[in-house]
Structure 1
Amino acid sequence: MAFYELYRYHNRNFYAEPGFSTFQGYIVLAADGSGINIPTTRETLEEFGTSSRKGTKPQASIGLGCLYDVMSRMILESDRCKCKFDEMRLAEEQIDRVRETIGDSQPFLVVMDRGYPSTTAFIRMMDKGVSFLVRLKSSDYKKEQAALTGSDEWIEILLDKSRIKHYKGTYTDYKSSM
């Protein structure tokens, strides 16, 4: 806990001073998660779980998630959790804490890989004014993919009322469902 508080204190001080790196005025944050094996004991298995397949010897693991400031080359937010965790939900929690560190006036852009697409999360981020960029899997957003002329293009996904209505009732604060 002390380490966590120290790096948050350092980060708040870092962003309080002018001169940190941006891209076209935005702090560019990369969201990513991973797992790391830890010593397997009864306690670590109970606390964090196992990453092993059923029927094999258990291997205790910790789930890790962070928001990395790409331009300044530093971790802005990080968390550890059980080895099997929802990376998008953790990224949303971390995104919600970014303003505590960088302040209200600095715009930021969150970049996510193919493991993150979630329409409900996109809606929540748009409602909060969070700018984001996501690389999609080939199975995501078929309507937009049908209009592609190549295998790697920029597309804009319009989440209009007709699309959002399909998520009515699922658009709740995810913390209450955890």
Structure 2
Amino acid sequence: MSPLHICCNILEGLKSLIYSPAFLAQFHEKHHFIRKRKLTISQVILFLLYTSKASMNLNLSNIRDDLKELHFPELTKQALSKARLKLKPLLFKTLFLHSVETFYASSPSRKKWNGYHVFAIDGSCIQVPKTKDNISYFGLCRNQYHSREDSMACISILYDVMEDIVVDGVLHPYHYAERRSAMEHLSCLESVGLKDKTVVLFDRGYPSYEFYRHFDTENYFYVMRIQSAVKSLTQLFSKDEITQYCPSYIEDGKTVRVRVIHVELDDGTDECFVTNIMDPAMTPAMFKELYFRRWKIESKYNELKNQLQLEEFSGAVPTNVEQDFFIHLLFMNLCALLKSEADEKIRQEKKKRNYEYQANRAYIIGRLKKHLACLLSGGETIPVILAQFVKEAVKKRSQIQPNRTSKRPRIQLRHRHCKNRKTTM
């Protein structure tokens, strides 16, 4: 089944869920949305899927103009804010997971790398509105001089590198451990049936003896970059060696079998990886290529924070933050499917070109964002509109620049997101 058809199936499924009283009854607070009121629970959901980074008053006016078939009532922003607080964030996580389950159920033949399904796990920090509720729930981050403090949250995603799909996402307080989030992701992999022949890629913040043992116990494959400070692993005699590892603080002395690989980057830097893939057919050069694919999850965070502007939250309390987080993950998966369809059509064009091209993801994000709520409310025909999006995206292509590098600045000042300074465009 093509990515376009899968995307249509996901939207049709979301549409049926959003208008299903039996489904929605699980996700609202008790004694709310049970009587006939001016604002229905489905209208609240569609508003949250529609809303832009503009002010709520502007969004309330725009949704009545753009989605006339929704019959959205005239009401104050305070009334809408109060209504959305009665919706549990689990509702939007369930809608996001519906996109994941539908994708894998509709994709019997998945892309592989040398016979492996490749996933990446990584975490990041996001700035949330600095309110009393958020500070209490998520915590504060202070700079080294204690002259500046922001309310921050910790997020982590599980990403299918080969399929460009976010499989799972979690949102926790700022000081939550990355490894604990990774454990939650691994449980999600097993629950959706993606455990078989899977290798998970990690950056250097994750390696630990306990982590190695857990992976061996659960029969997962992993590749982790480790810091040079772990001399018992990084200073072995060979560039590709299998060893028994046990740090000194382990009382029972039980070792874990790991493979340590050194590769040289293009700038001459030595990088060290730890893995439990013992197959001698897998050479250090192959591991270098495999780990390089982990960079896609960094690009996904760039999409989440900069193109979708996750940190410009539509509300100022933890419930609002969680709702927006899962809505953005759902949106990323829908955009990825449309881009995959457009990229395939670009590759099928029989034209001689000097460069390779791909669909412009930012263009797809903008088009889908404008029409998503209308598609789910029944105002537009889903297959027709999505096919039109793909046709437009093929024309609005971008050139792929090979071997592109960019120096990462070491000092980055975090932008403050002010809830009283919203865009008007």
Instruction: Assess same fold via TM > 0.5.
Output: yes
Q: Which amino acid aligns with 2:205?
A: G
Secondary structure class of the residue paired with 2:149:
coil
Secondary structure class of the residue paired with 2:191:
helix
State yes or no: 1:62 paired with 2:153.
yes
Identity %: 23
Which structure has the highest helix share of the two? Answer: 2
TM-score by length of 2: 0.35
2:219 paired residue among 126, 129, 137: 129
Alignment check: 8 A CA contact 1:51 1:84 kept: no
Give 1:165 shift: 8.8
Larger radius of gyration: 2
State yes or no: 1:144 paired with 2:213.
no
When residues 103 and 135 of structure 1 are mapped into structure 2, their CA distance, relative to the original with a 3 A threshold, is closer
Q: What is the aligned-residue RMSD (CA, Å)?
A: 2.4
Cα distance between partner residues in 2 of 1:168 and 1:9? 44
Match of 1:90 in 2: 181
Secondary structure class of the residue paired with 1:51:
strand
State yes or no: 1:2 paired with 2:91.
yes
Q: Identify which range, 92-101 or 52-61, moves more after superposition.
A: 52-61
Alignment check: 8 A CA contact 1:48 1:81 kept: yes
Match of 1:114 in 2: 204
Give 1:145 shift: 2.2
2:244 paired residue among 155, 158, 175: 158
Gaps of 5+ in 2: 1-89, 255-425
Match of 1:167 in 2: 250
Q: Which amino acid aligns with 2:147?
A: T
1:40 paired residue among 112, 119, 130: 130
Q: Which amino acid aligns with 1:114?
A: R
Give 1:154 shift: 5.0
Give 1:82 shift: 0.5
Q: Deviations over 1:54-85 (max 9, x none)?
A: 73343111110011111101111110001122
Give 1:143 shift: 2.8
Match of 2:280 in 1: none
Match of 1:52 in 2: 142
Give 1:168 shift: 4.7
Match of 1:72 in 2: 163
Gaps of 5+ in 1: 172-178
Q: Deviations over 1:110-161 (max 9, x none)?
A: 1000111111111111111111110010012x23322256xxx5554534xx
Give 1:164 shift: 7.6
Q: Which amino acid aligns with 2:130?
A: T
Matches within 5 A, 1:14-33: 14-16=103-105, 17-33=107-123
Which structure has the highest strand share of the two? Answer: 1
In the comparison of the two structures, how many residue pairs are matched?
Answer: 162
Secondary structure class of the residue paired with 2:96:
helix
Cα distance between partner residues in 2 of 1:155 and 1:114? 19
Cα distance between partner residues in 2 of 1:36 and 1:157? 38
Secondary structure class of the residue paired with 1:14:
helix
